[in-house]
């Protein structure tokens, strides 16, 4: 039982990079990468790329349980991205909210590379259906569930804004073209 509110480990506008394997982030429920497998015959999780996220919302359910909502780049890259490389015409997808206790933060190997000035009004216009992460906090649903990107997440689920939606593979993520869409200034 928690005796005090969970610490907020990430804040609005914090930009993180994290390792990926085929677009999948590290599963923080495993004590090491070697134990993280897609199946019994699958090889262990082995880094082959990088992704990036910006925290666009965060809070505490009932002033106690911490949650975060990341906006991720849509595709993993081979090289670790620098902050300036995340500007321009990249597709960003709004991920599901989730929890991130300190142990998961460490296991997922998040590396903070900067802070971007998020404009809350622009953010809400870009993502009008964005909801708080109360349910995810109460049900202890990890932020890891929303951090996978392409190629693991099919491109059809991360359409360029304005393109017709293809619902054949499920409900597509909300996306923006360029992080500048939600920055102040």
Both tokens assigned to 8: 């907020």
H or E segment to which residue 66 belongs: strand 65-73
Report whether 71 contacts 130 (CB < 8 A): no
Domain segments of the chain: what residues? Answer: 14-182
Render pLDDT for 93-107 as a digit per residue (tens, 0 to 9): 999 999 999 999 999
Render pLDDT for 18-65 as a digit per residue (tens, 0 to 9): 999 999 999 999 888 877 766 666 778 899 999 999 999 999 999 899
Could you tell me the pTM of the whole model?
Answer: 0.93
Tell the burial category of 154 from Cβ atoms under 10 Å away from its Cβ (0-12, 13-18, 19+). Answer: middle
């Amino acid at each position: 039982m928690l005796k005090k509110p969970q610490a907020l480990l990430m804040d609005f506008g914090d930009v993180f990079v994290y390792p990926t394997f085929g677009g999948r982030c590290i599963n923080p429920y495993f004590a090491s990468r070697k134990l993280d497998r897609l199946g019994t015959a699958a090889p262990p999780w082995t880094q082959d790329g990088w992704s990036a996220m910006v925290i666009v919302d965060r809070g505490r359910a009932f002033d106690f349980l911490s949650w975060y909502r990341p906006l991720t780049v849509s595709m993993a890259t081979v090289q670790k991205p620098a902050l300036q490389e995340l500007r321009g015409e990249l597709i960003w997808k709004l991920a599901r909210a989730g929890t991130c206790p300190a142990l998961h933060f460490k296991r997922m190997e998040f590396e903070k590379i900067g802070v971007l000035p998020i404009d809350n009004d622009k953010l809400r216009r870009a993502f009008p259906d964005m909801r708080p992460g109360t349910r995810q906090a109460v049900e202890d649903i990890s932020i890891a569930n929303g951090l996978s990107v392409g190629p693991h997440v099919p491109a059809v689920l991360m359409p360029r804004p304005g393109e017709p939606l293809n619902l054949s593979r499920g409900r597509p993520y909300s996306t923006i073209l360029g992080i500048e869409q939600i920055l102040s200034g």
